[in-house]
Amino acid sequence: MQALVEVGRGLEALFSPRSIAILGASDDVTKIGGRPLQFLRKYGYAGRIYPVNRKAGVVQTLQAHASVADLPEAPELAVIAVPPEGVLDAVEDCAGRGVRAAVVLSAGFSEMGEEGGRLQARIAQVARRSGMRIVGPNCLGAIGVPDRSIATFSVALEDTFPAAGPVGIVSQSGNLGSYTLRLASERGLGISRMLTTGNECDVDIADAIASLATDPGTSVILCCMETCRDGARLHKAMAMAREAGKPLVVLKVGVSEAGSAAAASHTGALAGSDAVFDVVLRNGGAIRVPSIEQLLEVGHALAVLGPDRLPRGNKVAVLTASGGFGVLLADAASAHGLALPRLAAPTRERILQVVPFASPANPVDMTAQVSSRPEVLAKVLAAVAEDDSCDALVLQSANAFHVPRLREVFLTALAQVRKEHPSRLIVLCARAPQEVRTQLNAMGFPVVEGIDAACATLAALVHFGARAEPASAGAAIERETLPAEAFATEASAKAALARAGLPVLKEAVVASRDEALAAARDIGFPLVLKIVSPDIAHKTEVGGVVMDVRSEGQLIEAYESLLARVAHKAPQARVTGVLVAQMAQGGVELILGTRKDPVFGPMVMVGLGGIFAEVLKDVALQSAPVDEAQATAMLRSLKAFPLLDGARGRPKADVQAAARAVAALSCFAARHAGEVAEIDINPLVVLEAGKGAFALDALLIPEQAEKGKQ
């Protein structure tokens, strides 16, 4: 693992080098070694270009050299496009000559199996030893647009070179990055830099994000992510983007859990890896989008708006010239978590003064009258723009920008509103020719075609504009060691958790009928009896649980029959006793647990428990540790929270006690992250307000046991 201070280090040579060498340079511009050289010359790179080819001679009219050692200077950037068996030597030559960065376009490494992986590992060793940053192998490379630095063979550059602008693109997938670049250019987005990381033997996605976070020419970062190899580095990179005020929009592909081996416990089944990414990206202030189309829409809107027009809330005013479109927009806005408040009475009066037949509620149906004169449209827009009950406006038009007469009405009115309200966020839901889009964008109006797309884009802007500050990390969690016996049984697990602040009911482990009677007299009826065995994880499957024991006679019968059933159904199991426990009565059952993600560390989960846990999958997930405020927010985010909050006349549950339990468990998981892979508490019963919450069952899975299953 690389040190956090190195995230993004040394990548300037990728984007603004004064000299570039192409190793494997070719006269054939259809080959990987020919295309970067062709692009550099075609698009006017101003630095020095050095083709390197074993035959030397002339390549694409430039004098070539037989090796890096023969070059008149050490190039700042090397583009390596040689067969895989020659890459290690090429990288060694570049490092020995003092090259600052290298892009390995060649494929045939870890993506091909173990042998390729070993070769890739040796390349990574060169990077660590020399300090030369290496992108790839098996990548599409990098582009520094302002400097016309081209270290790629992307077909996106075959016809045109992107215009310079504020949007940076990073992608682990070469094709996704190239496609995003092309779409962005077609949308009129100016690009600062593009970097695809491929197999990530050295430079990873976190480096790419961090480099754009520190680039003065980048104000919006678009990221296509497949995976993360180092959670700490990604956290650091996202923090750098956040501190720089640069929106990070992430398309995380691979949302299915089909490729992940689900753990046997409830926690493992409910907290999948994609849910973990969701939490990590949200905590890092990133905007996650579900499609490449929305990646472009959101990125485009952010680039057009800049930092001064982002919404601080989700209240939206919708304006249309059609009641039908207004209803469609209202439905889509609601689906994306946007609210349509009723406009203030003075606002409604102003609208009716201008358009007497309008519907001045929200959505605002301006009727077709606004299409006749720009001053009418401008007055309606101004009235709504000056209403503080809304954080943003959506102006919808199906055809106006394609009809010259109507286009001028809208352009004139929008120009006037922008002049009078320079910071007001107004999103246009409209179709328009590209030249009109460009004109509207220059005025500060993002144009989104499609009702759902417009509302999804606005919701993403709300997410970024109204994002909360990251929670304080608080005191550092000191690592502790658990005794081995803590993992043996439910009783030992609950004892360890109780010492850490998890509430449990009174209980005792007994080894005889007389001890069971003594424990019952101490605890009081009703009771629950459970078998205690390190070999039995699921007690109910072997008849190892007896509920609602209410007398000494029932206790004796239950004790003896329980041992008999277990001896019959699990004759090989080691039985170390019987747990006699106080029985909780009433309350709401939750499932509570933690799981150690292999990349991001321990995660804590809480959700609706009991028989509905895996059916409804109503869970909240967060990185551990969390404090009580964060735990309360997790509980309130559950769809089942009304059950805790007194729905339909039910008594209010002790939410505060439940939050304390979630926080305590999360701290326990963080404290023992080196030895505990998973914790499963099902159920955590939450009693009436003031009466507490208690873990009724617990399972600790050690790290080594989890590794053994893989």
Question: In the chain, helix, strand, coil percent, each to 5?
Answer: 40, 20, 35
Residue at token pair 């107004």? 426
pLDDT number for residue 2 = 46
Q: Are residues 279 and 396 in the same domain?
A: no
Specify if 495 maps to a domain: no
pLDDT number for residue 363 = 95
Residue 425, token pair as written in the block? 């966020």
Q: Which domain holds residue 436?
A: 308-465
Residue at token pair 């004109």? 439
Q: What is the CATH number of the domain that holds 224?
A: 3.40.50.720
pTM (predicted TM-score): 0.91
Number of domains in the chain: 4
- Radius of gyration over every alpha carbon of the chain, rounded to an integer in angstroms: 31
Specify if 470 maps to a domain: no
Band (474; pLDDT cuts 50, 70, 90): very low
Band (705; pLDDT cuts 50, 70, 90): low
Mean model confidence pLDDT for the chain:
91
Band (399; pLDDT cuts 50, 70, 90): confident
pLDDT number for residue 610 = 66
d(CA 479, CA 609): 30
Residue 391, token pair as written in the block? 């954080």
Domain end: 272, 304, 336, which one? 304
410-451 residue pLDDT tens: 999 999 999 999 999 999 999 999 999 999 999 999 999 999
Beta-bridge partner residues of 78: 21, 102
Average pLDDT over residues 589-602: 94
Q: Are residues 185 and 315 in the same domain?
A: no
Domain end: 582, 602, 630, which one? 582
615-671 residue pLDDT tens: 667 899 999 999 999 999 999 999 989 999 988 778 999 999 999 999 999 999 999
Q: Are residues 417 and 528 in the same domain?
A: no
pLDDT number for residue 264 = 32
**Which residue stretches of 596-673 are H helix?**
613-616, 628-636, 641-644, 655-671
Specify if 488 maps to a domain: no
Distances (CA, A) of 252 to 223, 224, 244, 256, 604: 8, 6, 22, 11, 22
For 533-634, strand residue ranges (E) read 545-549, 577-582, 588-597, 601-608, 619-623
Number of C-beta neighbours around residue 163 at 10 A: 12
Q: Are residues 571 and 517 in the same domain?
A: yes
Specify if 496 maps to a domain: no
pLDDT number for residue 265 = 39
Band (708; pLDDT cuts 50, 70, 90): low
Q: Are residues 102 and 208 in the same domain?
A: yes
Residue 622 burial class via C-beta count within 10 angstroms: exposed 0-12, middle 13-18, buried 19 and up? buried
pLDDT number for residue 612 = 63
d(CA 378, CA 415): 9
pLDDT number for residue 372 = 75
Residue 374 has pLDDT above 50, yes or no: yes
Amino acid type, 628: E
- The residue among 466 and 321 whose pLDDT is bigger is 321
d(CA 179, CA 671): 44
Q: What is the CATH number of the domain that holds 538?
A: 3.30.1490.20
**Which residues lie closer than 8 Å to 617 by C-beta, 6 or more apart?**
270, 607
**Which residues lie closer than 8 Å to 119 by C-beta, 6 or more apart?**
84, 87, 88, 109
Average pLDDT over residues 232-253: 95
Q: Are residues 573 and 596 in the same domain?
A: no
Helix (H, G, I), strand (E, B) or coil at 98: coil
Strands 58-59 and 62-63, sheet pairing:
antiparallel
Which of 500, 496, 507 minimizes the C-alpha distance to 662?
A: 500
Domain end: 550, 566, 582, which one? 582
Q: What is the CATH number of the domain that holds 322?
A: 3.40.50.261
pLDDT number for residue 398 = 86
Specify if 102 maps to a domain: yes
Number of C-beta neighbours around residue 147 at 10 A: 17
Q: Are residues 289 and 345 in the same domain?
A: no
pLDDT number for residue 611 = 63
Average pLDDT over residues 374-403: 93
Distances (CA, A) of 258 to 164, 254, 270, 563, 595: 40, 9, 13, 40, 18
Specify if 472 maps to a domain: no
For 346-483, strand residue ranges (E) read 364-365, 392-397, 426-430, 447-448
136-152 residue pLDDT tens: 999 999 999 999 999 99
Q: What is the CATH number of the domain that holds 645?
A: 3.30.470.20
Query: Which range, of 329-338, 397-406, 447-456, averages the lowest pLDDT?
Result: 397-406
- The residue among 609 and 473 whose pLDDT is bigger is 609
Q: Are residues 208 and 354 in the same domain?
A: no
Residue at token pair 């006269």? 27
Q: Are residues 599 and 559 in the same domain?
A: no
pLDDT number for residue 308 = 82
pLDDT number for residue 259 = 38
Q: Are residues 90 and 164 in the same domain?
A: yes
158-197 residue pLDDT tens: 999 999 999 999 999 999 999 999 999 988 899 999 999 9
524-568 residue pLDDT tens: 999 999 999 999 988 989 999 999 999 999 999 999 999 999 999
Q: What whole-number percentage of the chain has pLDDT above 70? A: 94
Beta-bridge partner residues of 597: 601
Q: Are residues 699 and 660 in the same domain?
A: yes
Residue 230 has pLDDT above 80, yes or no: yes
Is there a contact between 520 and 558 (Cβ–Cβ < 8 Å)?
no
Q: Are residues 371 and 237 in the same domain?
A: no
Specify if 676 maps to a domain: yes
78-133 residue pLDDT tens: 999 999 999 999 999 999 999 999 999 999 999 999 999 999 999 999 999 999 99
Is there a contact between 501 and 660 (Cβ–Cβ < 8 Å)?
yes
Beta-bridge partner residues of 427: 394
Specify if 481 maps to a domain: no
Average pLDDT over residues 603-625: 84
